[in-house]
Chains A and B, each alone.
Chain A
């Protein structure tokens, strides 16, 4: 009996599609940043589940850590950059 990790990974990957819709047709720039952050968070989980699918957890966990750090740094940088633009930039 195996845990259905393939189904879990495919379901999390399907959940990226609403966030991609929000990135494409966002009314403001901040909506696009939030959608990209949601896609990154789902990507972390897909990588962690994919390690259990292929049976090589020790490699995929490190990739997942790197994705988490890059997602956080990218979102913080986008927030600081958009904050500096001042009023009337929407």
Chain B
């Protein structure tokens, strides 16, 4: 019985950690697609851990089976929903956030291939 409570506490605390990561990511990340990444994976894992911890705490009954059913449904539904939203954003033309290349990066690049690629890109920009 005490082992059951300790295991449930570990699961619930891990789930709260992942939910905190997800809620920090939806504020701090710079782009829609990266925020979608924060919601799609971290939130799913946190929900699954908390529901699993509650099911372990409750014991083996019919309500525990219902908790496991909610867990399986969230594991299927939450990534599907975020995928649908991301596909709608990509089809309606939302551009992802990229790091703009500075001149300092091309001057300090050591690899020859990378430097050549960067020079080609800057020349292409100049021609346009």
* Chain A residues within 8 Å of B, Cβ to Cβ: 1, 3, 8, 11-12, 15-19, 21-22, 27-28, 30-31, 33-35, 37-38, 41-42, 44-45, 48-49, 52, 57-58, 61-62, 64-65, 68-69, 71-72, 75-76, 78-80, 82-83, 85-90
Please determine whether B92 and A85 come into contact, CB atoms closer than 8 angstroms.
yes
A residues in contact with B88, CB < 8 Å: 30, 79-80, 82-83
Q: Which of B70-78, B98-106, B107-115, B119-127 contacts the other chain?
A: B70-78
| A29: min CB distance to chain B, Å | 9
B residues in contact with A41, CB < 8 Å: 43, 47, 74, 78
Please determine whether A34 and B16 come into contact, CB atoms closer than 8 angstroms.
no
B interface residues, tally (CB under 8 Å) = 46
Which one of B9, B73, B87 contacts A83 once the chains associate, using CB atoms below 8 Å? Answer: B87
Please determine whether A87 and B92 come into contact, CB atoms closer than 8 angstroms.
yes
Q: How far is the CA of A15 from the CA of B27 in the complex (A)?
A: 11
Please determine whether B35 and A22 come into contact, CB atoms closer than 8 angstroms.
yes
The interface residues of chain A, by DSSP majority, are classed as: helix
B residues in contact with A17, CB < 8 Å: 23
Taking A58-B63, A65-B70, A90-B92 as contacts, is the C-beta distance between A33 and B85 under 8 angstroms?
yes
The contact string, 1 if C-beta is below 8 Å from chain A, for chain B 29-61, is: 000100110010001000100110010011000
Which one of A30, A33, A49 contacts B94 once the chains associate, using CB atoms below 8 Å? Answer: A30
The contact string, 1 if C-beta is below 8 Å from chain A, for chain B 1-41, is: 00001001100100010011011101100001001100100
